[in-house]
Amino acid sequence: MRNFGIAVLSILVLGMLGLASEPGKLIVWCDETRAPALTEAAQKFTAAYGVPVEVVEVPFGDIRGNLAVTAPTGEGPDIIIGPHDWIGELIFNGLLEPIFLPAALLAQFDPASLEAFSWAGELYGLPYATECVALVYNKDLVPEPPATFEELIEIAKALTEPEKGQYGFLIQQPDPYHTFPLHSAYGGYVFGSTPEGTLNPCDIGLDSEGSVKGARLLDRLVKGGILFAGADYQTVTGLFNEGLLAMFIGGPWTLPGIHAAGINYGVAKIPLIEGNTPRPFTGVQGFMVSAFSENKILANLFLKDFLATKEVMLAIYERGQRPPAYLPALAELADNPDIQAFAASAADGIPMPKIPEMASVWGAWSDALELIVSQKLGPEEAMRNAAEQIRTLLGCK
């Protein structure tokens, strides 16, 4: 109901400001981080063609919900930003329009990022960044990143002294997104594929052998005194920024905080688990065009000629520190070790499932991890329960 209230309020406010999609004027909804880079590109567009472009700051978490409420009434934006895993729900709701880019331009994007924004053979977004987690470590405590997970556990055990508030290695819990590399290294998955290559919402792999093995590894970390229950995002990043944590699994969004804290850090791929590559979820951020826009070709033109440029992509990178999906911009950052490490980790990644059924997975999966970490349930039973819960929720029995 809170979202609904906010949506209603925003309709009132946006309606009064007259920020509705209208012919001959582009409206872009984006969060405050991306806004400055976009405003610059928008000014260039206006200078070139005399077409006004309005960049409206909307809190990131509200963009999807507000689009659903405002677009069908003709009050919505022409372009929004968001992650690729929104597109399933947005297409289900009839809110997105495919975009068309010339082949030469498509070739300048990371193919995985284009794949992430594709649905039923059509492209629904212009990607600008890929993000995923990797191993972030404190170089003063761990000079060289471990090459294998066994090595990581050894180092972590040696460095963990809870009495002194010192910790060796943490994964924020209960958090499926950050724990998925453990599952995926053993071949664990969330949704299996249909013969046509799309995701099958009834093939739920949380209790597959690989996922359970990953959960056992998590259980081992807890039993070994390395992980503790209640290590959430604030705790993990807080400890690391105070120099009290040697290693953690984290994404590029933790870097600004670490820079500010002045920690001597490094980023590396998550070490091999029994010789297998841990595969993190990759999320791709991009620009999408509303199905209710009256300026679709104009919006395409803006995306193609004014946003898909090195300057704009680098300006967006400056603000968010996520590896660009636009290859010329990524090449520009070739000597940035953090970006290269996150990009390398993303190269092993699995795109986050974008089907709307994913909404039912997070809760049950988090619950399973929580029960394992607090030692209330064994890994096998916890994962089986989670999978059963999701199957019941989705009516897959």
Binding of another protein by 309 (CB under 8 A): no
Cα separation, 397 vs 395, whole angstroms = 6
Which of 33, 39, 93, 340 is close enough to bind another protein by CB under 8 A?
Answer: 93
Cα separation, 202 vs 191, whole angstroms = 7
The pair of three-digit structure tokens given for residue 235, joined into one six-digit string? 């705790």
Count residues binding another protein (CB under 8 A): 65
The pair of three-digit structure tokens given for residue 265, joined into one six-digit string? 């850090």
Cis check: omega of the bond before 83, within 30 degrees of 0: no
The pair of three-digit structure tokens given for residue 351, joined into one six-digit string? 């795109």
Burial tier of 373 (Cβ tally within 10 Å: 0-12, 13-18, 19+) = buried
Smallest distance from another protein to CB 167, Å: 8
What number of other Cβ atoms are within 10 A of residue 122's Cβ? 13
Stretch that binds another protein, among 122-130, 150-158, 212-220, 355-363 (CB under 8 A): 355-363
Binding of another protein by 362 (CB under 8 A): yes
What number of other Cβ atoms are within 10 A of residue 121's Cβ? 6
Binding of another protein by 49 (CB under 8 A): yes
Short-list 45, 39, 28, CA closest to 305: 45
| H-run or E-run covering 149 | helix 149-159
Binding of another protein by 352 (CB under 8 A): no
Which of 60, 100, 233, 253 is close enough to bind another protein by CB under 8 A?
Answer: 100
Binding of another protein by 165 (CB under 8 A): yes
> Which residues, numbered 166-205, are part of the site for another protein (CB under 8 A)?
201
Stretch that binds another protein, among 48-56, 176-184, 215-223, 327-335 (CB under 8 A): 48-56
Report the relative pairing of strands 134-138 and 265-268 from DSSP bridges. antiparallel
Stretch that binds another protein, among 36-44, 229-237, 272-280, 330-338 (CB under 8 A): 229-237
Alpha-carbon distances, residue 46 vs 17, 25, 40, 50, 154 (angstroms): 20, 10, 10, 5, 58
Smallest distance from another protein to CB 392, Å: 6
Binding of another protein by 257 (CB under 8 A): no
Cα separation, 251 vs 282, whole angstroms = 10
Q: Which is nearer to another protein, 99 or 270 (CB)?
A: 99
Cα separation, 81 vs 256, whole angstroms = 21
Stretch that binds another protein, among 30-38, 127-135, 151-159, 293-301 (CB under 8 A): 293-301
Binding footprint of another protein on the chain (CB under 8 A):
1-4, 8, 23-24, 48-51, 68, 72, 74, 89, 91-95, 100, 162, 165, 201, 228-232, 234-235, 238-239, 291, 294-298, 300-301, 355-357, 359-360, 362-364, 366-368, 370-371, 374, 376-377, 381-382, 385, 388-389, 392-394
